[in-house]
Amino acid sequence: MPPLVETQDLVKEYVLGGETVHAVNHVSLKIERGEFVAIMGASGSGKSTFMNMIGCLDVPSSGEVLIDGIATREMTSDAMAELRNSKIGFVFQQFNLLARTSALDNVAVPLIYAGVSGEARRERARATLTQMGLADRLDHSPAKLSGGQQQRVAIARALVTNPLMLLADEPTGALDTHTSEEIMHVFQTLNDEGITVVLVTHEADIADYAARRIVFRDGEVIEDGPVANRRRGRAA
């Protein structure tokens, strides 16, 4: 069975002010099924560019990204979108929820693009929100939810299509310390259940909840290894 994510001599270049900037510079690595990986680095280190490419949101200048053994660089935009929708769930710092829409309907949105019928969408969304401990918040709009609850809705939305991998971009950046611990407990629980989690963060204490840490600097990987003293999140 191939790695869930494999990058082969991955390069992403931008031309700025007449100069070529290597946002990602010849990166080759593998992420296996069931791993919990933190990708770290300062602003401009290349971590977000790398995440965008393994999330099929961007294409490399050269090299290759394979998702579940599928090469992506030469894919059409439609094929890339289908791969994203079937294998990857996304969680973002600012939640990105529809403001005037209930938690239930927010979570059901990805299933529209997956072609799931109306009642089946609602049933799957309801079950996923219940899994996130939000069975009593189904009809609440984001404005009526705390930051932690909004992020749980966002995680439910990412999970509802049954992806192989969650990509979380600074998922605790808008949360206080206590709520961050609760959200990291959610990610750890999902990982314990077999979901691969790739977490992008610049915070060392958040990276310590992962099992493996990959550190970028100037587009290159300068560290890749296990987290020595792994932290455990706190249940809500």
Angle, CA 14 vertex, CA 202 and CA 86 arms, to 5°: 65
Q: Which two tokens stand for residue 223?
A: 């560290």
**Domain extents for the chain?**
5-226
| C-alpha Rg value of the chain to the nearest Å | 18
Q: Tens place of pLDDT for every residue, the chain, 236 residues?
A: 899 999 999 999 988 888 888 899 999 999 999 999 999 999 889 999 999 999 999 999 999 999 999 999 889 999 999 899 889 999 988 888 999 999 999 999 999 878 888 889 999 999 999 999 999 999 999 999 999 999 999 999 999 999 999 999 999 988 999 999 999 999 999 999 999 999 999 999 999 999 999 999 999 999 999 999 999 888 87
pLDDT, residue 113, reads: 79
Contact, 183 vs 170, CB < 8 A? no
Contact, 201 vs 207, CB < 8 A? yes
Q: Which two tokens stand for residue 63?
A: 């090299």
pLDDT, residue 115, reads: 81
User: How far apart, in whole angstroms, are the C-alpha atoms of residue 39 and residue 59?
Assistant: 19
Range list of H helices, the chain: 47-54, 77-87, 103-113, 118-131, 147-159, 177-192, 204-207
12-48 in b/e form (b: 16+ CB < 10 A) is beeeeeeeeebbbbebebebeeebbbbbbbeeebbbb
What CATH number should be reported for the domain whose range is 5-226? 3.40.50.300
Burial of 232 (0-12, 13-18, 19+ CB in 10 A): exposed
Angle, CA 88 vertex, CA 86 and CA 93 arms, to 5°: 140
Amino acid at 22: H
pLDDT, residue 95, reads: 87
